[in-house]
């Protein structure tokens, strides 16, 4: 493998602090595999690792670089749960399905933390997460969430924090009114995790190809996946393009909205500053529709994200938008230098439940994590591997849910959803 170049990835904090600066070759020949995975983010890489551990011959095709998309750009927050209000899917999956997905919300955390431990992956894993309320109406939601998690037997330590506790122990901000602390969730360096998992899978025999955009798929008992300069014959295909799937598979592209999400990273903070604003080193999210999320990096920068943009247009300057938001939470950071600013696309589904299943008997897919992909991608990968190997049919609980196609087609679905989100923000 060869060293990667600085223009291969966005100029993010993650790229600047990556542990392994290695690249994979471009596919320029015809090869065979048991499974061909399209997409080199968390879904594709974790699926390759799961399948390689089970003895499958796996090929991964990525249009850019491994971890180039949301998997290498996200907030790095490892948060419990899958989907949002599972009750709305009762008619499709029943109580058994609701229970299964609820349990997977905890299992998904364990997949990531146990893998990091098993393969000694250096990705700055830090346990501790907090939902915090900055509006009075959200305090009740935290209380209800705590009660539901306790009822479901959530296996990790939980605490409801009042205003004084949350401000003294988690978020040193006058905006914090209450909190729900979860020590089973946490935060990490996502690009280092993704690249390390790819290296582990490669060591187990998986073949990764970068700069190898898939141009078409000839479907059959043995599928042929074409790139610009090569092709792969494989019995099974896994589609993991998510927000970047574009026109490769229209049935999936229409059910996902690529939405913009953005982050800024400050210069390293002094101890008296970072100990004041985030004394417990938690990852944190507020509870608004247009939420803010933030955490400290390993070298004590504040990584502050939000501004989910459904319009399809990036802001002229990310810092101009996010810096004032950061100061609303932490006014003492006025004048602090911003060293990095970046963004990218995340995949949003209409019902906010991840879309995991089969297009046909030998073509699988996973997408639409709605901003909670660090854990859910790894759960999806395990379900896909179990289905392909015949180990289990747990994937069917997701396959039973019908996902609507966004109205308006390729060019109108983003503006239509942006209007809908504006409506919800008015009530927030």
DSSP 85-133: -GGGGHHHHHHHHHHHHHHHHHHHHHHHHHHHHHTT--S--EEEEEEEE
The segment(s) of the chain belonging to CATH 3.50.50.60 are: 13-74+191-255+351-407
Q: Which one of 2.60.40.10, 3.30.9.10, 3.40.50.10490, 3.40.50.300 gives the CATH number of domain 126-187+258-348?
A: 3.30.9.10
The segment(s) of the chain belonging to CATH 3.30.9.10 are: 126-187+258-348
Three-state DSSP class for residue 405? coil
Q: How many residues does the chain have?
A: 428
pLDDT of residue 406: 80
pLDDT digits (tens, 9 = 90+) for 118-131: 999 999 999 999 99
- Report pTM: 0.93
pLDDT band at 313 (very low <50, low <70, confident <90, very high): confident
pLDDT tops 60 at residue 424: no
pLDDT of residue 310: 66
Contact, 321 vs 307, CB < 8 A? yes
pLDDT of residue 171: 98
Locate 249 and state its tokens: 């598979």
The mean pLDDT of the chain is 92
pLDDT digits (tens, 9 = 90+) for 137-188: 999 999 999 999 999 999 999 999 999 999 999 999 999 999 999 999 999 9
pLDDT band at 372 (very low <50, low <70, confident <90, very high): confident
pLDDT digits (tens, 9 = 90+) for 224-280: 999 999 999 999 999 999 999 988 999 999 999 888 899 999 999 999 999 999 999
Tokens 């890489």 — which residue? 45
β-bridge pairing 30-38 and 58-61? parallel
Fold classified for 13-74+191-255+351-407:
FAD/NAD(P)-binding domain (3.50.50)
Taking alpha carbons only, the member of 151, 121, 199, 176 closest to residue 294 is 176
């Amino acid at each position: 493998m060869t060293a990667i170049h600085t223009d291969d990835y966005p100029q993010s904090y993650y790229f600047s602090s990556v542990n392994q600066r290695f690249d994979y070759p471009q596919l320029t020949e015809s090869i065979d595999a048991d499974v061909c995975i399209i997409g080199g983010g968390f879904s594709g890489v974790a699926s390759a690792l799961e399948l390689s551990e089970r003895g499958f011959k796996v090929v991964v095709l990525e249009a850019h670089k491994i971890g180039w998309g949301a998997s290498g750009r996200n907030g790095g927050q490892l948060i419990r749960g899958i989907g949002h209000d599972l009750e709305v899917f009762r008619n499709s999956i029943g109580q058994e399905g609701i229970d299964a997905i609820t349990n997977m919300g905890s299992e998904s955390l364990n997949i990531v933390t146990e893998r990091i431990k098993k393969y000694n992956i250096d990705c700055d894993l830090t346990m501790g997460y907090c939902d915090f309320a900055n509006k009075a109406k959200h305090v009740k939601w935290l209380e209800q969430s705590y009660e539901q998690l306790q009822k479901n037997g959530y296996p990790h330590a939980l605490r409801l924090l009042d205003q004084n506790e949350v401000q003294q122990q988690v978020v040193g901000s006058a905006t914090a009114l209450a909190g729900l602390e979860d020590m089973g969730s946490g935060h990490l360096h996502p690009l280092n995790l993704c690249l390390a998992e790819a290296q582990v899978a490669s060591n187990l025999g998986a073949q990764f190809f970068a700069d190898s955009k898939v141009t078409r798929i000839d479907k059959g008992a043995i599928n042929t996946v074409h790139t610009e300069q090569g092709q792969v014959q494989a019995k099974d295909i896994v589609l993991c393009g998510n927000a970047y799937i574009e026109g490769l598979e229209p049935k999936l592209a229409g059910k996902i909205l690529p939405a913009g999400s953005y982050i800024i990273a400050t210069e390293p903070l002094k101890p008296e500053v970072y100990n004041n604003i985030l004394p417990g080193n938690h990852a944190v999210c507020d509870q608004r529709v247009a939420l803010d999320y933030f955490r400290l990096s390993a070298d004590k920068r504040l990584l502050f994200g939000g501004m989910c943009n459904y319009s399809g247009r990036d802001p002229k300057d990310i810092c101009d938008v996010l810096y004032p938001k950061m100061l609303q939470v932490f006014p003492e950071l006025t004048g602090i230098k911003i060293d990095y600013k970046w963004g990218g696309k995340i995949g949003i589904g209409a019902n906010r439940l991840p879309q995991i299943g089969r297009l046909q008997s030998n073509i699988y897919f996973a997408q639409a994590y709605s901003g909670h992909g660090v854990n859910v991608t790894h759960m999806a990968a395990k379900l896909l591997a179990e289905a392909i190997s015949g180990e289990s049919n747990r994937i069917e609980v997701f396959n039973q849910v019908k996902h609507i196609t966004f109205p308006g087609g390729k060019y109108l679905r983003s503006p239509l959803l942006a209007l809908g989100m504006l409506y919800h923000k008015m009530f927030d």
